[in-house]
A = this chain, B = another copy of it.
Amino acid sequence: MLREEECITLAHGSGGQAMQQLIEQYFVAAFDNAELALMEDQAQLPLASLNGAGDRLSFATDSFVVDPLEFPGGDIGKLAVCGTVNDVAMAGAIPRYLSCSFIIEEGLPLATLERIVASMARTAREAGVQIVTGDTKVVHRGACDKLFINTSGIGVVPGDRQLGARHIQPEDRVIVSGTVGDHGAAILQARGELALSGELQSDCQPLNGLVEAMLAAGPVRALRDATRGGVAAVANEMASVAQVSIELEEAALPLHPEVRGVSEILGLDPLLMANEGKLIAVVPPQHCDAILAAMQAHPAGREAAVIGTVAAAPAGQVSVVGLFGGSRLLPMPVGEQLPRIC
């Protein structure tokens, strides 16, 4: 049983001594870099690598409200680092700096916060980014559910990299970097909504290393991580922006047997289920083999597979060839399969 002083109190959000101590003892200690240690309200970054005439900044933000805070394969902290690192990496940018902002419900055990912050620090090291500035708010019991985290991120896009759905062309190939639906299924199981005893693990991981390996192997038209809305949302966004047709093959889709089981039992479509460590790449056909091989040689892409092709028409439409050869439309998902998935 934790004593009251081992939980977050409103004083930890006050701007005064208690907040300073929380920041020093938990955040500055874990995230360990000179810029954060200055305890200013902002960080100053040299960005010396932003030196080519065409180099650009990539800037992304994501708030995380996942329930539960901790689940097999990850936690809200790991998710918050991976989510923003991946958004930046999908632009072909090299992620460099993150901000981190906590909204904490009064009463959260400090031990929980400490584990989550340690997980953020570990994931940031793995991804090669620094958490350089932050903010902490504490709200009354009941005004938020335990803990929400926002991360924003800055990366540098080398001038010679121009990725984007608008570059997609007919005949291009669609690659997924591994099994789909793992994160969504793991969260469902962690909520106790499944009676399955399988080994469902979230795929939550940084993808910037994989992206670098891919770009070294050949030109990539567009990248997108398949988070909320899954592969279906990404494919529809790409088809709509590029005004092309994308045809996916269900039989080619990498799927863990447990995820297949969950989706069959619950009637969920794995193409709509959330991932937190998988990307969809569209690549020119003549470079597909080289890029796929580079992905399969990387720990984050071992199960990468070609899952579809691009055609000129019908523009803006995504279809799936099913396991028995029939073709069906895969529209943009309308509602929410699983709230608070990330």
A→B interface (CB under 8 Å)? 10-11, 13-18, 20, 38-47, 50, 56-65, 67, 87-88, 90-91, 93, 97, 99-103, 132-135, 137-140, 142-145, 148, 150, 152-154, 157, 164, 224-225, 227-229, 233, 237, 274, 332-337, 339-340, 342
Contacts and interface: CB of A to CB of B under 8 A. Distances in A.
Given A40-B91, A138-B336, 19 more contacts: A11-B335, A14-B229, A14-B334, A15-B229, A15-B336, A16-B333, A16-B335, A39-B237, A42-B60, A42-B88, A43-B60, A44-B57, A45-B57, A47-B50, A61-B99, A61-B101, A103-B148, A139-B340, A142-B145
CB-based closest 10 A-B pairs: A15-B228, A15-B229, A152-B152, A42-B60, A16-B333, A61-B99, A14-B336, A150-B150, A11-B335, A41-B87
Contact of A11 (B88, B138, B334): B334
A133 B59 contact: yes
- Mostly, the A contact residues are mixed
B139 A142 contact: no
A143 B59 contact: no
A61 B14 contact: no
Nearest to A154: B59
A97 to B, nearest CB: 6
A153 B44 CA distance: 12
Nearest to A61: B99
A42 B150 contact: no
Contacts of A10: 335-336, 339
7 contacts: A14-B229, A15-B233, A42-B90, A47-B57, A63-B103, A137-B342, A144-B148
A132 B228 contact: no
B135 A63 contact: yes
A268 to B, nearest CB: 14
Given A101-B150, A143-B144, A336 B59 contact: no
A228 B137 CA distance: 10
A310 B134 CA distance: 29
